Amino acid sequence: MKYELVVGLEVHCQLNTNSKAFCGCSTRFGNPANSNVCPVCLALPGALPVLNRRVVEDAVKLGLATGCAIAPYSILARKNYFYPDLPKGYQISQFEEPICTEGMLQIDAGEGIRDIRLIRIHIEEDAGKSIHDIGDDTYIDVNRCGVPLLEIVSYPDIRISKEASAYLQKMRQIVKYLGISDGNMEEGSLRCDANVSVRLFGDEEYGTRTEIKNMNSFKNVEKAIEFEMQRHIDVIEAGGAIVQETRLWDADKGETRSMRGKEFAHDYRYFPDPDLVPVLVDQEMLERMRQELPEFPEARAERFVREYGIPAYDAGVLTVEREVADYFECAVAACDDGKTASNWVMGEVMRTLKEKYLDISEFAISPERLGGLIALIAKGTISNTIAKQVFELMQADAASAEDIVLKEGLAQVSDTGAIKATVDEILAANPKQLADYREGKTKLFGFFVGQCMARMKGKANPQVVNEVLKSRLDA
- The DSSP line for 433-463 is HHHHHHTT-GGGHHHHHHHHHHHTTT-B-HH
> What pLDDT is recorded for position 413?
65
Model pTM score: 0.84
Which is nearest to 25 in space by CA: 36, 39, 40? 36
> What pLDDT is recorded for position 407?
86
> What pLDDT is recorded for position 60?
97
Cα 225 to Cα 220: distance, rounded to the nearest angstrom = 8
- pLDDT tens digits, one per residue of 50-84: 999 999 999 999 999 999 999 999 999 999 988 88
- pLDDT tens digits, one per residue of 248-262: 999 999 999 988 766
Residue 140 phi, psi (nearest 5): -115, 130
Which is nearest to 86 in space by CA: 42, 45, 55? 42
Q: Locate CATH 1.10.10.410 in the chain.
A: 416-473
What is the rounded end-to-end Cα distance, in angstroms, of the chain? 72
Taking phi first (over 0 means left), then psi (-120 to 50 degrees means alpha), and beta for anything else, what does residue 202 get? left
> What pLDDT is recorded for position 334?
94
Low-confidence ranges of the chain (pLDDT < 70): 1, 261-266, 412-415, 418, 475
416-473: which CATH number, 3.30.750.24, 1.10.10.410, 3.40.50.300, 1.10.1740.10? 1.10.10.410
> What pLDDT is recorded for position 339?
95
Which is nearest to 253 in space by CA: 216, 217, 220? 220
E strand segments, 126-221: 129-134, 137-141, 148-154, 190-200, 210-215
In contact, 128 and 140? CB cutoff 8 Å: yes
In contact, 156 and 7? CB cutoff 8 Å: yes
